[in-house]
């Protein structure tokens, strides 16, 4: 941005005031250094507004031609980095309007007929956010596709499932990754829903009360691709619900990615050793030559706090505002922009990073020999033989205690040892047979959970196929 020194050009509103704004106030109140990123959306909105004004006979055909020509030149200057942004002109809207007036004269001054910066900025933000949501939805889809590829490759790879960070039951690595696919699926649904409420046109609401000019808001909405107009002028210029919704959806998405990041970090630790990450996502130590640090997942964890903070900032920004527009709302853009940038960058890098996971299947399976992962399978076996579940639970708990004392896993106990351990539970011993060992294997445990949503490899593959069909549909 080029900051020009203060000049004598009158402000868009300066007729009301007896002295100029101080340079300190200019710097404090200006937003052009961050809202200039909405320039393309501002020009799109202005073009649609100008065409509507011409159709309604509010401005002439020559004015429209001049406005279209001038805005096209400005768009090119911005795209080429030749546009001179000025702090004196406060924001993206006045910078573009001043340049337009310099290029085409009075036609540029007529562009603002029937609108205010209040409904103009509300329109620009919605256009910008709609574009950001579309990009995020595309990136979620790419991430899901890559996640499905890894999940399918490991639909049979056994992994300890944990609760309370204690070994619970066997699952597969593919099934585990599909849990995150489901989270991403809900995330995408939330962004789609947020987009629907974002895609409503405020333009035409003017400052807060509408305009006395015979405008056609529906035609502008159609040209700009909005689903409908905002139906109350007061609400239209002051509503930031859509931005808060977006930040809430983003915070949830980042929370999901933070959870996955935490698991990647733990799994990559040599004390666990379930996976390794490709070198391009890791860094070393300035002092310890052996180190390979999972910096990207760690930063995702950290940036999740940032997106959560942006959500709270917007909620706090809006909580005390009376209708309608207040200058407070200028503070909506930086948290919103930062959240969108963070989410987009994180999704882009995660879509690549998931393809760089190297699975150490032997370490995963070895970990299943710790923690009595098939204890529930033994209880289910007894229940299927007719023992009430609570009795089966007690019998297996006694067997686990005996195995723990012996220093072995349940499948390593003999049938006699299991029977001795369960002898205090009536009906348990006589229900134990040699077939019990088939259910105590990891493979048997996985295969038995073959219902929808279960971790049986065949069900994991069906879930992956269904997910691919949804993404292609």
Which residues are identified as catalytic?
164, 285
> Is 36 strand, coil or helix?
helix
Residues with Cβ within 8 Å of residue 416, at least 6 apart in sequence: none
How far is residue 165's CA from residue 10's CA, in Å, rounded to a whole number? 66
Distance of CA 405 to the CA centre of its chain: 48
Q: Could you identify the residue written with the tokens 């200028």?
A: 330
Asked whether 129 and 336 are in contact (CB, 8 A), the reply is yes
Residue located via tokens 């940032």: 306
Q: Under a CB-based contact definition with an 8 Å cutoff, are residues 27 and 87 in contact?
A: yes
CA distance 158 to 160: 7
The answer to whether the beta carbons of residues 69 and 104 sit under 8 Å apart is: yes
In sequence order, the β-bridge partners of residue 169 are 161
CA 94 to centroid of chain Cα atoms = 32
Give me the torsion for CA of 106, 203, 342, 354, rounded to 10°.
-120
Q: Cα 421 to chain center, whole Å? A: 51
Q: Which is nearest to 219 in space by CA: 343, 72, 47?
A: 47
Query: Cα separation of 403 and 413, whole Å?
Result: 7
Exposure of 158 in the CB half-sphere (CA atoms within 13 A)? 20
Alpha-carbon distance of 231 to 76, in angstroms, equals 34
Tokens in use for 149? 């590829």
Report DSSP state, residue 14.
G
CA 212 to chain centre: 41
Residue 166 gets which letter from DSSP? E
> Hey, CA dihedral for 22, 28, 34, 38, is it positive or negative?
negative
Please, how many CA atoms are within 13 Å of residue 445, restricted to the half-sphere of its CB?
26
CB atoms within 10 A of CB 81: 6
């Amino acid at each position: 941005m080029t900051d020009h020194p203060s000049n004598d050009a009158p402000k868009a509103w300066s007729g009301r005031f007896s002295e100029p704004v101080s340079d300190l106030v200019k710097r404090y109140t200006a937003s052009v250094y961050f809202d200039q990123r909405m320039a393309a959306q501002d020009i799109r909105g202005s073009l649609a507004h100008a065409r509507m004004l011409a159709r309604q006979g509010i401005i002439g055909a020559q004015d429209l031609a001049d406005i279209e020509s001038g805005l096209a030149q400005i768009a090119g200057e911005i795209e080429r980095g030749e546009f001179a942004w000025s702090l004196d002109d406060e924001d993206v809207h006045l910078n573009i309007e001043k340049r337009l007036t310099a290029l085409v004269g009075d036609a540029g001054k007529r562009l603002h007929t029937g609108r205010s910066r209040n409904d103009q900025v509300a329109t620009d933000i919605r256009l910008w956010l709609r574009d950001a949501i579309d990009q995020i939805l595309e990136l979620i889809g790419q991430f899901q596709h890559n996640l499905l590829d890894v999940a399918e490759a490991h639909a049979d790879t056994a992994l300890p499932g944990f609760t309370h960070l204690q070994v619970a039951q066997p699952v597969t690595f593919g099934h585990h990754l599909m849990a995150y696919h489901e989270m991403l699926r809900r995330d995408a649904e939330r962004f789609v829903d947020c987009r629907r409420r974002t895609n409503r046109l405020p333009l035409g609401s003017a400052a807060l009360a509408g305009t006395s000019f015979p405008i056609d808001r529906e035609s502008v909405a159609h040209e700009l691709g909005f689903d409908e107009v905002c139906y109350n002028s007061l609400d239209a210029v002051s509503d930031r619900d859509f931005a808060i919704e977006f930040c809430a959806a983003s915070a949830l998405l980042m929370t999901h990615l933070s959870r996955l990041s935490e698991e990647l970090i733990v799994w990559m630790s040599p004390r666990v050793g379930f996976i390794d990450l490709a070198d391009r996502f890791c860094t070393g130590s300035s002092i310890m030559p052996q180190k390979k640090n999972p910096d990207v997942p760690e930063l995702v964890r950290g940036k999740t706090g940032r997106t959560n903070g942006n959500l709270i900032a917007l909620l706090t920004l809006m909580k005390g505002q009376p209708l309608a527009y207040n200058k407070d709302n200028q503070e909506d853009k930086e948290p919103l922009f930062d959240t969108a940038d963070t989410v987009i960058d994180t999704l882009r890098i995660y879509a690549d990073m998931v393809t760089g996971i190297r699975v150490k299947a032997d370490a995963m399976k070895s970990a299943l020999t710790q923690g009595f992962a098939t204890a529930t399978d033994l209880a289910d076996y007894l229940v299927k033989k007719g023992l009430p579940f609570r009795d089966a639970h007690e019998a297996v708990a006694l067997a686990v205690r005996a195995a723990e004392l012996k220093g072995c896993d349940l499948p390593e106990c003999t049938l006699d040892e299991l029977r001795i351990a369960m002898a205090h539970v009536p009906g348990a011993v006589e229900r134990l047979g040699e077939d019990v060992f088939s259910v105590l294997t990891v493979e048997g445990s996985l295969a038995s959970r073959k219902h929808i949503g279960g971790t049986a490899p065949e069900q994991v593959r069906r879930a992956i196929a269904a997910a691919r069909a949804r993404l292609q549909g």
